Amino acid sequence: EPEVTQTPSHQVTQMGQEVILRCVPISNHLYFYWYRQILGQKVEFLVSFYNNEISEKSEIFDDQFSVERPDGSNFTLKIRSTKLEDSAMYFCASSEWAGVSPLHFGNGTRLTVT
C-alpha cells in the first residue's frame, strides 16, 4: 500500500539554525499538509498546499516557516531560525483531492532544538 515517507526520522539542531524537513507524498495525491505535535499535546495544523501554492495556514505558520515542492515528488518544510519551542513531531500528510478524500500521514520527523 502506498505511503507517505518522511526524512529524517529524528533531527537535532541548535537554536537559530535552519532546518528542512522532507516528505514524499503518495504519488497521485494533489494536496499536501504539514502538522506538528508538541510532546503531550494535540496534533496541530500548520499549512496546506495545492497547485504550488499555500491554500491555508495557521497562526503557528509565521514568517519563520516556508513550504516548497521543489520537484514532482518532494514536499519540504523549512524553519529558518529554529527556537526551542519548535521542538516537536512534524507530520506530513497528503490527500488525493480536497473535500472527502482522507489525509494519509507519514510517521513524522522528531525535531529537537537545543
Q: Parallel, antiparallel, or unpaired for β 109-113 and 10-13?
A: parallel
Residues 30-59 that bind other proteins (CB under 8 A): 31, 33, 35, 37, 42-45, 48, 55-56
Residues 13-32 that bind other proteins (CB under 8 A): 31
**What is the Cα 94 distance to its own chain's centre?**
10
Q: Please, what's the b/e burial string for 18-50 (b: 16 or more CB within 10 A of its CB; e: otherwise)? A: ebebbbbbbeebebbbbbbeeeeeeebbbbbbb
Contacts with other proteins: how many residues (CB under 8 A)? 27
Nearer to other proteins, 17 or 107 (CB): 107
- Mapping DSSP to helix (H, G, I), strand (E, B) and coil, where does residue 105 land? strand
Q: Which stretch binds other proteins (CB under 8 A): 12-20, 63-71, 78-86, 102-110?
A: 102-110
Chain residues binding other proteins by CB under 8 A are: 4, 31, 33, 35, 37, 42-45, 48, 55-56, 89, 91, 93, 95, 98-100, 102-108, 110
